[in-house]
Structure 1
Amino acid sequence: MAKRRARNLDDQAIERIIGVLDGWSGRLSWDLLVDTLERYLGARYTRQALDKHGRIKSAYQIAKARLSKAPSPGRRQKISDAEIGVLIQRLERLEAENGRLKVENENLLEQFITWAYNAHLKGLKKEDLNTPFPCVDRELTKAK
């Protein structure tokens, strides 16, 4: 019996995949991620399908960088009560910051959608909008 093709990745599935990557600990590879997502989402996606989505690719690269800097489990030290208090305060601040940034991101996405719609109405194409800024000549002016 042939395997059924996994459904297309929608925004909700992409959010869940990014959440998995944000909470990932230990060794990370595309194969491990694909296997974990199959258990978590009930569908098997290929590395290429995941890598094709910019947000997933970016979250994967960020997770890889974060994990490469993390100390190995054998090198962790005991944490004092004072340090735990500081860590709890930091966690609360980061959670608040994360919530604020999510709201800001939603607002920016809404603004982008508005701009994209208005650009479409004016007949602008993606290439027009992605034209790089002109180079600026910042050499010193020669005095006379």
Structure 2
Amino acid sequence: MKKDRAQNLTAERIALVLDTLDGWAGKLTWDLLLDAVKESTGSRYSRFTFAEYPEIANAFSLKKDALRGTLPRTRGEPRDERLRAALEQAERYKAKAKRLEAENQLLTEQFVTWALNAERKGVTMDMLNAPLPKPKRDRSKGED
């Protein structure tokens, strides 16, 4: 029996995976994440597919590290459903902020690497920061 191929990972699907990770509570494994994504999207992806996307792999590792060694809450959950929902949303936002800070750090490191490598090849920062040429739009073929 031939397996149906999962849909390509679009920016929206990647955002959904990242949002799922941001709100994750409890044990986290690749299989559990894949199951959760399949439940919300209907598509079954592989661990290797997710690992090809640095933002997913980094978010997974970061969340795994955050969950490692944490103990369950000893105090009771609030009774008010709205308060519980607000607290859960706040936790998701905190997790997302932490993930975005880690992504920003990686991108900053990548930029420094690129800048140093460009400088070694004789490309100056002024050359790198030069504005891009304006696209030729809204001109008829006879104009120039």
More helix by share: 1
Residue aligned with 2:43, SS: coil
CA spacing shift, 1:79–1:12, aligned 2, 3 Å: closer
Map 1:76-115 → 2, pairs under 5 A: 76-78=74-76, 91=90
TM-score of the superposed pair, with normalisation by structure 1: 0.54
Shift of 1:128: 6.1
3-state secondary structure, aligned to 1:17: helix
Q: 1:130 offset after TM fit, Å?
A: 6.8
Residue of structure 2 in register with 1:52 after alignment: 52
Which residue of the partner structure matches residue 42 of structure 2?
A: 42
Which residue identity lines up with residue 45 of structure 1 in the other structure? Y
Local SS of the residue matching 1:131: helix
Counterpart code for 2:41? L
1:71 is displaced (CA, Å) by 1.4
**Alignment RMSD (CA, Å):** 4.1
Residue 14 (structure 2) aligns with: 14
Query: Is 1:27 the equivalent of 2:15?
Result: no
Task: Identify which of structures 1 and 2 has the higher relative contact order when contacts are C-alpha pairs closer than 8 Å and 6+ apart.
Answer: 2
* In structure 2, distance between residues paired with 1:130 and 1:42: 44
Gaps of 5+ in 1: 110-126, 135-144
Q: Percent identity?
A: 30
**Aligned-residue offset at 1:59:** 0.8
